[in-house]
Structure 1
Amino acid sequence: MFKGFRSLLAMVACATLTVLAVPAAAHTQCAPYARAVSGIALHGAAAGWWGEAEGRYERGQAPKEGAVLAFRATRSMRSGHVATVAKVMDERHVLLNHANWSRPGMIERSAMAEDISPNGDWTQVRVYYAPIHGLGLRASPAFGFIYAKGTAVAQVSRRNARA
């Protein structure tokens, strides 16, 4: 009986070590990741970032490196989503760095995003989805971009305000 108890105890200890060995990134959500990468100090659900940014950060419809693309909440994305712009490819394509899109906790770097909105204002976006190795099939609604202090758009706005 004592030998069986020791075996059980050893199995529990190994299972506990396995659980503790799971990297913290496995639980990364999009908002804390975007905040850390962009330096934009907003908190709460991603869908609320657009409103929270009003009066604190410049916002707009043009992609800029370092900006955060803020997605609206939907039935399938109840908390919305935020992603940082790593590179602007052209006016309709950017590369995003973000977390928790293709798989819970997964961090994706240089994920393609395409503006499919009729007016070219980034209000409808398709984003690379790892399980299908291509752009997602659904259009995701977005508010637009929140610009980190120091991005080109914010610098131009401050210069124009002083003029």
Structure 2
Amino acid sequence: MTGRFLGAACAALVLLGTPVQAQARIQCVTFARAHSLVQLAGNARDWWARALGLYQRGQAPQPGSVLAFRATGSMPMGHVAVVSKVIDARHVLLDHANWSRPGMVERGVMAVDVSAAGDWSAVRVWHSPSRTLGLRVSPAFGFIYPAAEAAMATARTAGAALGLKR
């Protein structure tokens, strides 16, 4: 019995000391697709163009919409993030991955529209390592609205025009 126990203990130590393959780091596109109703593929920098004709796009944040960032030298693939809460016209909370550190998922982080026109074309996003609201201003296209949300908004608008109440 002692020999079996010792053998099992040695086997367990060998297994504990054996390196395991690291889990793949989640990318912003994978995260946004999994946590929103916007189902696009490809690099984040291409989502705005790919959404044309499939999803409504605009400059006003809505919960569940995806904020699409433009590609830059420091962000060559662009970035996408899901709006979890709208605080006001210029402040939202985002859920996203791969922003502050590779593969890191962040929820409820502040993003601020710092554009002169108030159109979300220039954004500062909370950066965890520096504990500041953005080390840089990031250019953005705007918001991609989930298809279901767009259909409901259109129905509400049409109903209001006809004097119908929900």
TM-score with structure 2 length normalisation? 0.82
Aligned to 2:154: 157
Alignment partner of 1:70: what SS? strand
Q: How does 1:90-109 map to 2 (within 5 A)?
A: 90-109=88-107
TM-superposed CA distance for 1:12, in Å, is: 8.9
TM-superposed CA distance for 1:132, in Å, is: 1.2
Question: Based on CA coordinates, which of the two structures has the bigger radius of gyration?
Answer: 2
Where in structure 2 are there 5+ consecutive unaligned residues? Answer: 1-12, 162-166
How far does the alpha carbon of each residue in 1:85-116 deviate from its partner, in whole angstroms, 9 at most, with x for none?
Answer: 00000100000000000000000000100000
Q: Distance in 1 between matches of 2:68 and 2:157?
A: 25
Please say if 1:58 is aligned against 2:56. Answer: yes
Picking from 14, 26, 29, the partner of 1:28 is 26
Picking from 77, 82, 85, the partner of 1:84 is 82
User: Is 2:37–2:148's contact at 8 Å kept on the other side of the alignment?
Assistant: no
Distance 1:141 1:107, change over 3 A: same
Q: How does 1:112-131 map to 2 (within 5 A)?
A: 112-131=110-129
Q: Distance in 2 between matches of 1:143 and 1:136?
A: 18
User: Is 1:60–1:145's contact at 8 Å kept on the other side of the alignment?
Assistant: yes
TM-score with structure 1 length normalisation? 0.83
Matched length: 149
Distance 1:51 1:127, change over 3 A: same
Equivalent position amino acid for 1:136 in 2:
G
Where in structure 1 are there 5+ consecutive unaligned residues? Answer: 1-9
Q: Distance in 2 between matches of 1:156 and 1:39?
A: 15
Q: Distance in 2 between matches of 1:128 and 1:74?
A: 18
Q: Distance in 2 between matches of 1:154 and 1:73?
A: 29
Instruction: Name the one with the larger helix percent.
Output: 1
